[in-house]
Amino acid sequence: MGGYLQDKVLVVVGVGPDLGRQIALRGAGAGADVVLAARTASRLEEVAKEIADLGRRALVVPTDMTVEAEAEHLAHAAEAEFGRVDALVHNALAMPPIRDLGKVDLAALQAGFDQNVVSALRLTRLFVPALQASSGAVVMVNSMVVRFSQRGMGPYKMAKAALLAMAQSLATELGPQGIRVNSVAPGHIWGESLRWYFGYLGNKRGVAVEDIYAETAKATDLGRLPEPDEIADAVLFLASPLARAITGQCLDVNCGEYHH
């Protein structure tokens, strides 16, 4: 029995150990062939093997999204291998400085903007011809940071707010070509990175990781934190024909920590 992405071609940019991997694997589980892009080639090869075990094809393309020639190579390689692209998922993140806007180095602020926003725009533009041919979709992975303000998070919020505005504007521009553009804003994702961070906080405060988790989860309606596969399902929904009438939207997946 086919899945909701049966025989589609999914490009996943930013395949890390948590969310990017889950998007790729769950996409393959739903019937898609997957193009895997990130800077770490060894991780891509591991995920490609897992996709093959699911009976789908995977193309590994080590890519630094901030390098124009590498982004161009990714777009060409995807179409050369599969002959089509149905969805582009942009999950890559270069973390901007964690510093107040009044003190952050402006060159570092600019670099964070270029790495996160301009690189996503460049890549989307490169895939427009293929996505137009398939009436495809773009999904930008954003962040809950756009829903609140916190000291030190200004540079990150600026970059993600710009990414959200860009996705909405692209939805308007590309809609007449049949291309949908949406965003997903995860809350705290209970994966490898957050486990490490909660462990760091716990050691600093002399409390258990479980205590940090409970404190954080208390702020959510469901009393828990979303896991990578749950964020991935929301991303893949927007990338799929199930969301064929949805564009220009941002779907928050945070177990009810913030309402929008």
Which residue segments constitute the domains of the chain, with CATH numbers given? 9-189+227-253 (3.40.50.720), 190-225 (no CATH)
Phi, psi of 52 (to 5 degrees): -60, -40
Task: Render pLDDT for 153-194 as a digit per residue (tens, 0 to 9).
Answer: 999 999 999 999 999 999 999 999 999 999 999 999 998 888
Q: What's the pTM value of the predicted model, to 2 decimals?
A: 0.94
Give pLDDT, residue 240: 98
Give pLDDT, residue 186: 96
Characterize the bridge pairing of strands 87-90 and 58-62. unpaired
Catalytic residues: 156
Judged on CB neighbours under 10 Å (0-12, 13-18, 19+), 37 is buried
- Distance between start and end Cα atoms, the chain: 36
Residue range 88-110: mean pLDDT, rounded: 93
Q: Is the predicted pLDDT of residue 1 greater than 60, yes or no?
A: no
- What sign results for the dihedral spanned by CA atoms 192, 25, 50, 44? negative
Can you tell me which residue has the tokens 């945070």? Answer: 254
Strand 58-62: give its sheet, edge to edge.
58-62, 33-38, 9-13, 87-90, 137-141, 180-186, 250-253
Give pLDDT, residue 2: 63
Q: What angle do CA 136, 128, 147 make, to 5 degrees?
A: 75
% helix, strand, coil for the chain, step of 5? 50, 15, 35
